[in-house]
Structure 1
């Protein structure tokens, strides 16, 4: 009988943990965020272009300049795997690195890692 009780408690805890993993995305077009500091040298969840593409388009590849920039959500897309992909542009109308106007980001992962911060 004790085995059944332990199995029941384990299954309830697993189901409760899976329920807490699902997050509701309350992001819409026009929301303003700030780009935060990445955990490593490069941004993992904000899809900035690689350095060689920035240089080819005449920009300066300095990822530290992106920190603190206010960005506006221009598009929100729910993917089949449940992630929310957003497109962001700078709030002042400028270009990222002097070459790209819009970049994409995985919203949930970028918020949890601190790469995007709500204002």
Structure 2
């Protein structure tokens, strides 16, 4: 009887753990996120335009001021999310939206859940 209880508790814990992990990866349109910092100011999972394209479009070519910017999920396509700034401004003064691989960006700290 004691062995059965221990075994059933163990099975319940194993089954419930993946369910909780899946809930953390769920995202919905309208959710607010924050842009985090990246390694060496090279964002790989949040797809910002390259600095030369920003300069050609007349924008401010600098990744320095991105950390802490609040963004809203406007569209979801598979694991890619389309992000817009919460304050309504454009990224770098000329790009209204950016794309990001959601799960990788959360794992690397480039996007933070708020």
Per the shorter chain, which TM-score range? 0.7 to 0.9
Runs of 4+ aligned residues of structure 1 deviating over 2 Å after TM superposition are: none
**CA shift for structure 1 position 93:** 0.3
2:102 corresponds to 1:102: no
The aligned length equals 94
Q: Measure, in 2, the Cα distance between the counterparts of 1:93 and 1:99.
A: 12
Q: Which of 103, 106, 111 is the equivalent residue of 1:111?
A: 106
2:29 matched to which residue of 1?
A: 29
1:16 matched to which residue of 2?
A: none
Deviations 1:8-66 (A, max 9, x none): xxxxxxxxxxxx7xx63310100000000002221110000001110111101110111
**CA shift for structure 1 position 111:** 0.1
1:60 matched to which residue of 2?
A: 60
CA RMSD of aligned residues (A): 1.5
> What TM-score, normalized by structure 1, do the two folds share?
0.75
1:14 matched to which residue of 2?
A: none
Q: Measure, in 2, the Cα distance between the counterparts of 1:52 and 1:34.
A: 25
Matches within 5 A, 1:74-113: 74-78=74-78, 84-113=79-108
Q: Measure, in 2, the Cα distance between the counterparts of 1:87 and 1:41.
A: 21
1:38 matched to which residue of 2?
A: 38
> What TM-score, normalized by structure 2, do the two folds share?
0.78
